[in-house]
Amino acid sequence: MQWWGWLILGILVVLIGAMVFMYFFGRRMQKKQNEAQKQMDQMKQQVSALIIDKQKKKLTEAGLPDAVVNETPKYARRMKVPVVKCKVGPRVMTLIADAKVYDIIPVKKTCTLMVSGIYITEIKAVRGGSVPKPQVKKNAFARMRDKVEAKLAKNKE
């Protein structure tokens, strides 16, 4: 066998080993996520809150309690998280929103939220209106197709 054959065989062995490792590591992480989700579902409660502001900030700059920042792994502290500043009763609190909920939370309105600790899991109702539907983001191909269709429709007129 030539030297390049051994090289390809070595690369294949390393790739197969990496795939097996990722499979078992992914299963373990999925189990942890499912356990955390069950715990969040048990702890969630309904809260009425006035949404003051919402931003995406780094975890260290978000104004969260020190206990939350210290419990977070170091690599995750630099990531931007969706932060919502709201007034719950007489207190102004900083909460972290779920990514799918963050987009539909209206600013300067009173909302009924499902909160688990400092984490907003869902939005139930909005005072003075209905809960907005999440906008479906189009991929680049769909946006390009819409532009072409608009130009064709304009040229037909």
**CA 36 to chain CA centroid, nearest Å:** 15
Question: Tens-of-pLDDT digits for all 157 residues of the chain?
Answer: 788 889 999 999 999 999 999 999 999 999 999 998 899 888 889 999 999 999 999 888 888 888 888 888 888 888 899 999 999 989 999 999 988 888 888 889 898 999 988 889 888 888 877 776 767 778 888 889 999 999 888 888 7
Q: Does residue 129 lie within any of the structural domains?
A: yes
**pLDDT (0 to 100) of residue 62:** 84
Q: Give the structural domain span for 79.
A: 44-157
Q: Does residue 100 lie within any of the structural domains?
A: yes
d(CA 128, CA 150): 36
Q: Does residue 12 lie within any of the structural domains?
A: no
Q: Does residue 20 lie within any of the structural domains?
A: no
Q: Does residue 29 lie within any of the structural domains?
A: no
Query: How many domains would you assign to the chain?
Result: 1
- Minimal CA–CA distance to 94: which of 54, 66, 41, 60? 54
- Minimal CA–CA distance to 48: which of 123, 153, 157, 139? 123
0.85 surpassed by pTM: no
Q: Does residue 74 lie within any of the structural domains?
A: yes
**pLDDT (0 to 100) of residue 85:** 94
Strands (E), the chain: 45-58, 80-88, 91-97, 110-116, 119-126
Q: Do residues 95 and 54 lie in contact, with contact meaning Cβ atoms separated by under 8 Å?
A: no
Q: Does residue 19 lie within any of the structural domains?
A: no
Q: Does residue 4 lie within any of the structural domains?
A: no
**pLDDT (0 to 100) of residue 126:** 84
Q: Do residues 114 and 124 lie in contact, with contact meaning Cβ atoms separated by under 8 Å?
A: yes
Supply the DSSP string of 49-87, one letter for each residue: EEEEEEEEEEGGGTT--HHHHHHS-HHHHTSEEEEEEEE
**pLDDT (0 to 100) of residue 10:** 94
d(CA 85, CA 51): 6
**pLDDT (0 to 100) of residue 97:** 92
